[in-house]
Amino acid sequence: MKKRFLSALMAVLFLFTMTGCQNTSSTEDQTNTGDGAAVTEETGTDGPIQLTMWAEEDNFKMLEGMIESFKKQYPEEEFEITLEVQSDATLRDVALGDVHGTADVFHFPDDQLNSLVAGGILEEVPNAEEVKKANTEGSVEAASINGTLYAYPMTADNGYFLFYNKEYFTEEDVKTLDGVLDAAAKAGKKLNMELNSGWYMYSFFGNVGMEFGINDDGVTNYCNWNTTEGTFTGVDVTESIVDVINHPGFLAAADGTFIESAKEGTVVAAISGVWNAMSVREIWGDDYGAVKMPTFTCKGQQVQMSSFTGFKMVGVNSYSPNVEWAHKLANWITNEQNQTVRFVERNQGPSNINAAASDEVMKVPAILAVIDQSQYGVLQRVGNNYWGACTAFADTLIAGNPDNKPLQELLDILVAEITASTVK
């Protein structure tokens, strides 16, 4: 430190000599600036490393433990790591709105990756090969663009499947949607599904031979769900959806209402995901069951319901003033040890290969169900126009098609809105 101060002082004296014609006030300012530079350097080197992490509040207790273990990993350093509440679902919008105000480290679902990279917030993971080898192929693919890894895979369970109460259903019942609905209705109960969400509605259209996805521009969609050709037409699928809506055992309700309805006893099955697994286990106890999505009846045939598969990951803000340490922290909280902690404490399915292969993970019905369903799912890569279009379409069907529009016309409107240009 003394050496640094002398170097700074010599620089000031040299500057004073070179500018001897300047007045005393100006020279004093320069001397003060030189002094300040020495102090700033000391603070930057010897002060605590400051990092901010955004996450959902439910994970705070778990993350606090991970942060403490990270500090122990680097005992020679002093850290100030702050946790702040931020919903994973809205991370992209908040981050793109203020890149410099975004946390150093943050959690987000895989469908936000493209936007965050395009916005310059994410940069290539420095130890990419190490991270790729440690995690499942699907999670690595979800965290990559054109083979370049931009985030640290954290979970591999962000999909959906069928929860059911074993008191009301046999193993045979839950193989088909008809079986689930009939058994629920017989008991005066319901199957809950958020049908007017494009995330769940995809389950009817995803495995019937139709095309849907995002174009190369990364913004607009292609879709032919209104097709009049093929083994199944758009009208065939829509008629199946209408039959489900009209079944006495079906309840079209938001995913967020599932747990409360299960507590009340009105809902005994639901299409949902692992985020509800711990609550379901508490409510149904030993009767808690979970399996892949059932088949549904379309044009007299049984068709396996599809799904969007999803992963969650941890990103590092490329604008972070401590970006190297931010990468180390992100790498730490997503390593094998801490993915195991996530599973034990929060029942979140690991993307880490070793953690996912543990005997304990293989005993959890929800984790097994999402793994089994993944063979019938696709990565969620869609343009924004998809969501509102699906909600409007499903809301019309749930309301009983009050204007009595032909189903083909409703499908044509749906596809036109899904594939619409974003240029106004």
Residues 6+ apart with CB under 8 A from 184: 168, 169, 190, 191, 249, 250, 268, 269
The pTM (predicted TM-score) of the whole model is 0.78
d(CA 133, CA 131): 6
**Which residue from 380, 378, 394, 388 is spatially nearest to 416, judged by alpha carbons?**
388
Residues 304 and 315 in one domain: no
Each as own residue / partner, the long-range contacts of residues 94-97 (CB below 8 Å, 24 or more positions apart, any chain) are 95/119, 95/121, 95/317, 96/121
Domain assignment of residue 282, yes or no: yes
Domain assignment of residue 14, yes or no: no
DSSP state of 219: S
Domain assignment of residue 230, yes or no: yes
Residues 329 and 342 in one domain: yes
Residues 285 and 179 in one domain: yes
Residues 304 and 350 in one domain: no
Residues 413 and 293 in one domain: yes
Residues 91 and 180 in one domain: no
d(CA 393, CA 411): 8
Domain holding 346, by residue range, is 49-157+310-375
d(CA 116, CA 143): 11
> CATH number for the domain including 153?
3.40.190.10
Element housing 73 (H / E): helix 60-73
pLDDT of the chain, 424 residues: tens digit per residue = 433 333 333 333 333 333 333 333 333 333 333 333 333 333 344 689 999 999 999 999 999 999 999 999 999 999 999 999 999 989 999 999 999 999 999 999 999 999 999 999 998 999 999 999 999 999 999 999 999 999 999 999 989 999 999 999 999 999 999 999 999 999 999 999 999 999 999 999 999 999 999 998 888 999 999 999 999 999 999 999 999 999 999 999 999 999 999 999 999 999 999 989 989 999 999 999 999 999 999 999 999 999 999 999 999 999 999 999 999 999 999 999 999 999 999 889 999 999 999 998 988 999 999 989 999 999 988 888 999 999 999 999 999 999 999 999 999 999 999 999 876 5
Residues 297 and 203 in one domain: yes
Residues 219 and 286 in one domain: yes
Domain assignment of residue 29, yes or no: no
Domain assignment of residue 110, yes or no: yes
Residues 303 and 320 in one domain: no
At position 146, the amino acid (one-letter code) is: N
Pairing of strands 267-272, 190-193: parallel
Domain assignment of residue 15, yes or no: no
Domain assignment of residue 36, yes or no: no
- Contact in structure between 407 and 245 (CB atoms under 8 Å): no
Beta strand segments in 129-235, E: 144-145, 148-149, 152-155, 161-165, 190-193, 212-214, 221-223
Residues 110 and 228 in one domain: no
The domain total for the chain is 2
Domain assignment of residue 168, yes or no: yes
Residues 268 and 408 in one domain: yes
Residues 279 and 368 in one domain: no
